[in-house]
Chains A and B, each alone.
Chain A
Amino acid sequence: MVKTSVSQIKMPLTGNDAGAYAMKQVNPDVVAAYPITPQTELMQTFAQYVHDGDVDTALITVESEHSAMSACIGAAAAGARTMTATSANGFALMWEVLYIAASLRLPITMAVVNRALSGPINIHCDHSDSMGARDAGWIQMYAENSQEAYDLWLIGIKAAENHDVLLPAMIMYDGFIISHTMEVVETLPDDAVKDYVGPYKPAYAMLLDEKPFTVGPLDFHDYYFEHKRQEIEGMEHAPAALAAAATEYEKLSGRHYGPVETYRADDADVIMVALGSTAGTARYVVDVLRDQGKSVGLMKLRNFRPFPHAEVADALGKTKCVVVCDRVASFGAFGSPTFMELRSALYEVPERPPVINYIYGLGGRDTGPDLLEQAFEEGLRVARTGKIEQHVSYLGVR
């Protein structure tokens, strides 16, 4: 247990409250946002802070999510620290501009309150929204609970603004399950947050820099590739920046945030991989099954971009079966996004374990311990026999 350098305050906060509180303590220059369930309360809480004068952030209540991200880009390019939040179709609507924010190397940070993409229209939790933009050039981190929603947003800001990275970051937390559920969250004091994120030092600022410059020119085929290669390089530096930001955060909070988090996995025959709140359910099921003498464990995947292939290989390389649970489907792909990326990470491991995939929880389908137990049991069967019957299965669909 690391000794923490500041005394924290325990607060009862929903995921949305926690996000809004993090924003309040950061007190960014500009926030531009548009309402969508289940993000709405996050922005409403923040708007109240603005209107009460608890922050002096300028809040632009834009007329769409596309404009939200566009306004964030304008503000950030001007030299402002900028934050926003959205979900599902709002997120999808800003898809075009997400790519532009990353290519302009603007460290905008955003909470994505995970909700299923239409259609049909559904307001409940799954990961189809954030997973859909995994190639946009954003840092992506999945929070398990309100505590992580708060902590990871702060870490995300620090890593994004690192001058070796300069890429935007999105922090995910499950819609309704986390966004609307009250939990006890340990928060840092205001000045600790202020010192941690520090004053914003943009790499460029249209309004503050001495000499004028052009942002967003046209590239022909003779320069686009070079600009993209630069962007790739920024993402290559992200693991180190995230690790440094997390180490500094641990000194303040006592909480350790690596790209993956294992639980009773060292000697486990079967390791389940999960993102978001389901990791919490899985942890509970691990204990239940362990009490029955079953050799199971969990690897929570926290950072999805950049994908921590080395840590994944390290955590899963020696097990007998990996059960990847993903709250998203990728139509036409061989398995879900996490399944595919994880198998790629394990490909060169000398005795790579068999990996099976469970797609679960789409559209907010409740996925309780009994369902995860089924998945573990199948994993144990595979571990025993070494034979995969079906690579991809669906948990909880009628």
Chain B
Amino acid sequence: MEKKKGWKDIPLGGLITEAGNADEYETGSWRTFKPVLDQEACNNCLICWIFCPDTSVLVEDEKIVGFDYVHCKGCGICAAECPKKAIEMVLDEEK
């Protein structure tokens, strides 16, 4: 367990100076199901990407390349909204 910093070692006024450091916080442990992409069925419409609440659909060069399993909470929105049914929610065995 990470030792928490004392009052002399944290920024003044409650500021969080590392913008976007929530990235270091793992929310992937929340999920029961995880999305799995059928790359062949995917037409890169990017609808899953624009609907993901957790910025966990990975896009490179305008193409879906996978999911950020460190953060994905398994809500299932991507699978439910995919017009090509290219995403399947499967039980996450590791959790």
Contact = CB atoms under 8 A, between A and B. Distances in A.
A212 B7 contact: no
Interface in A191-236: 203-204, 211-217, 219, 222-223, 225-227, 229-230, 233
Nearest to A217: B16
B19 A223 contact: no
Contacts of B15: 204, 213-215
Nearest to B13: A105
B7 A214 contact: no
B95 interface: no
Contacts of B7: 225-227, 229-230, 233
A105 B4 CA distance: 22
A218 B6 CA distance: 17
A213 B17 CA distance: 5
Interface in B1-54: 4-8, 10, 12-17, 19
A309 B4 CA distance: 35
Main secondary structure of the interface of B (DSSP, over half): loop
Given A222-B4, A226-B6, A105 B19 contact: no
A106 B15 CA distance: 12
Contacts of A212: 19
Contacts of A211: 17, 19
Nearest to A105: B13
A19 B6 CA distance: 41
A285 interface: no
A12 B6 CA distance: 52
A64 to B, nearest CB: 25
Contacts, number: 51
Main secondary structure of the interface of A (DSSP, over half): loop
Contacts of B14: 103-104, 215-217, 219, 223, 227
Contacts of A226: 5-7, 10
B10 A203 contact: no
Interface in A66-113: 103-106
Nearest to A211: B19
Nearest to B6: A226
Nearest to A216: B14
A214 B12 contact: no
A115 to B, nearest CB: 31
A23 interface: no
A258 to B, nearest CB: 28
Contacts of B19: 211-214
Nearest to A230: B7
Contacts of B6: 226
A215 B19 CA distance: 11
A166 interface: yes
Most A CB contacts (10 A, CB to CB) among B5, B10, B13 go to B13
A106 B17 CA distance: 16
B16 A166 contact: no
A269 to B, nearest CB: 46
A227 B11 CA distance: 9
Contacts of B13: 103-106, 166, 203-204, 215, 227, 230
A211 B16 CA distance: 11
Most B CB contacts (10 A, CB to CB) among A103, A211, A213, A225 go to A213
A216 B12 CA distance: 11
B10 A214 contact: no
Given A213-B16, A216-B14, 4 more contacts: A204-B13, A213-B19, A217-B16, A230-B10
17 contacts: A103-B13, A103-B14, A104-B14, A106-B13, A203-B12, A211-B17, A213-B17, A213-B19, A214-B15, A215-B13, A215-B14, A216-B14, A219-B14, A225-B7, A227-B14, A229-B7, A230-B12
**4 smallest beta-carbon distances between A and B, as pairs:** A105-B13, A226-B7, A214-B16, A229-B7
